[in-house]
Amino acid sequence: MSERNLLLLLALVIGVSCGFAAVILKKLILWISSFLVGGIVAKTGPWMYVLLPGIGMLLSLLTVKYLVKDNISHGVTKVLLAISRNDSRIKKHNCWSSLLTSALTIGFGGSVGAEAPIVYTGAAIGSNLARALRLPYRQMTLALGCGAAAAVAAIFKAPLAGILFTLEVLLFNMSSTSILPLLVSSVSATIVSYAFLGREPFFPGSFSVFSMSDIPYYILLGLFCGIVSIYFIRSTLLLEDRMNKSSGVFMKWGGCALMLGLLIFMFPPLFGEGYESMSHLLNGQTLDIAGGLVGGWFAGNKWLILLYFFLIMLLKVFATAFTNAGGGVGGTFGPTLITGALAGFVIARLLNNFSFVALPEANFVLVGMAGLMAGVMQAPLTAIFLIAEITGGYTLLFPLIITSVISYGATRTVEKFSIYSKRIAAQGDLLTHDSDQAVLTLLKTTDLIENNFIPVQPLQSLGDLVGVVAKSTRNLFPVVDEENVFQGIVLLDDIREFMFDTSLYDSKFVYNFMSQPAQTVLSTEKMDSVMHKFEKSEAWSLPVLDEESHYLGFVSKSKIFSAYREQLQQVSNE
């Protein structure tokens, strides 16, 4: 079978597999939620809503700790890391572990989304199928991208959004060889989803026809979504970092479960994914969402009910962070949509309360979802077409574009990276659409070390050194001590005039000719840093050391350039 046909067949298998994985996840969440809400809560009372998320987090925590024994949180970020750091290889257990634990977390009411776990699952399916066929890195990365695209397409029944998600969020380089496999996997996954979940839009709503007079208000919504996006990115990462510093896994679970329970007690819409509340907003059923300790007090006043939804918008970040930090498994994809829907509602209701304009609130809810996704994920095209596909709101394509572009631009001026890529970029592991930077990220210093240099020790005589020169094919000699700790280098040019004076063989020693290199390189150092050292020192070879200064070998410009050309061909799909 030709490579092209093999990739198409593989994309089809990946798409169907990811479609079934998405269906299983949705059915599991629905079954667990229906059993708990329709059974246990109905018998014991609504106070169980406060306890159930903590139980789900604990079950997920125990599954990860004792069965999976691996960190499976932040699925999209893990996929990005696999592409840049691990040759697109994802562990086999990720084909099911994220699916099971996220079903437990969300089914019990954890305030996270199922989309990041299913993306991780889909990428793992693609990666492991390609690995079983022993495909090289380029094809394995394409298979991983097909899995991610199929997962998004199936979970939302949105094939175009699945492809755009892979291109924008996973920073996947589109080429003529990758377009067709991505299409095949996305469409096949969507067909499976249609067959088992129905063909109706993910969020059907009651939308009004777009009016040109509303354009200024959609611009305002875009700016507001940009501000909220910055708040969402920074608050989420800050909260998770602080809570992850807490000692004791079960102590952290207890604290997070308690805080999440209190939030849900005051604001019931924070229970679970929140998609039911979003459906109410899209269909103008605002008061059906109000409840809990705060909502019951605020429901009778138009300004207080506005404050109620504004607080939910701000606190969704906290609920999501508590769920993930407390042992739950879920993503920020769903919470981003919920927060965006609330942002759109807040702006529309605020302006409507002043009575000088009558804005269609359902339209602003829909457009707000796209605006926040464009800002938080820094993926405007994905946001525009995903929201249009999952709501059937193609008539609002123009305001979707306006709000998404403005939100993306406003967020980008402050936050250069998305919520998924910010931490990776800080580590220097982020692949980008810049082919040069992508190649440097993929190259690893440890893979480029040359070991055919013969080491010498400082106390060896000139005669011994001449004997080493006679055996060596290189003109550079590393100097190490008895424990292989690097001391310096000896250049052939520095001993050339003394080599043939045998009277000096016993009176001169290696340390008499030893010098220090202009720079040294750590084996864990990023390639862009290594290249900077080459440019600064103007050297042709630099010694590579470990963290304890033990000598490992040399890295040379010629080896880097050769590896760079080879990797560039793969990245560019030439």
User: What would the DSSP string read from start to end of 331-376?
Assistant: BSHHHHHHHHHHHHHHHHHHHHHTTS----HHHHHHHHHHHHHHHH
The model's confidence at residue 574, banded by pLDDT at 50, 70 and 90, is very low
Please tell me the predicted confidence (pLDDT) of residue 410. 95
Q: Report the share of the chain in percent with pLDDT over 70.
A: 91
User: Is residue 428 very low, low, confident or very high in pLDDT (cuts 50, 70, 90)?
Assistant: low
Tokens representing residue 414 in the block: 């402050």
The confidence score (pLDDT) of residue 314 equals 95
Q: Which CATH class is domain 3-197?
A: mainly alpha
Q: Tell me, what's the pLDDT at 438? A: 59
* Model pLDDT, residue 175: 65
What is the model's pLDDT at position 272?
87
Mean pLDDT of 468-474: 87
pLDDT at 42: 67
Predicted confidence (pLDDT) at residue 203 exceeds the cutoff of 60: yes
Residues 6+ apart with CB under 8 A from 514: 458, 479, 487, 488, 489, 490
CA distance 465 to 463: 5
In this chain, the answer to whether the domains covering 3-197 and 212-430 adopt an identical fold is: yes
The confidence score (pLDDT) of residue 85 equals: 72
Residue 360: half-sphere exposure toward Cβ, Cα within 13 Å = 19
CA angle, 188 then 192 then 196, to 5°? 165
Query: In terms of pLDDT, which residue wins out, 459 or 565?
Result: 459
Pick from 50-59, 250-259, 388-397: least confident: 388-397
CATH class held by domain 212-430: mainly alpha
* C-beta neighbour count of 568 within 10 angstroms: 15
DSSP 112-149: SBSHHHHHHHHHHHHHHHHHHTT--HHHHHHHHHHHHH
**Confidence at residue 390, expressed as pLDDT on a 0 to 100 scale:** 84
The domains of the chain are located at 3-197, 212-430, 439-571
| pTM across the whole model | 0.80
pLDDT at 539: 84
Q: Which of 309, 310, 110, 280 is nearest to 203 (CA)?
A: 280
- Give the CA-trace dihedral at 6, 7, 8, 10, to 10 degrees: 90
CATH 3.40.50.300, domain 439-571, yes or no: no
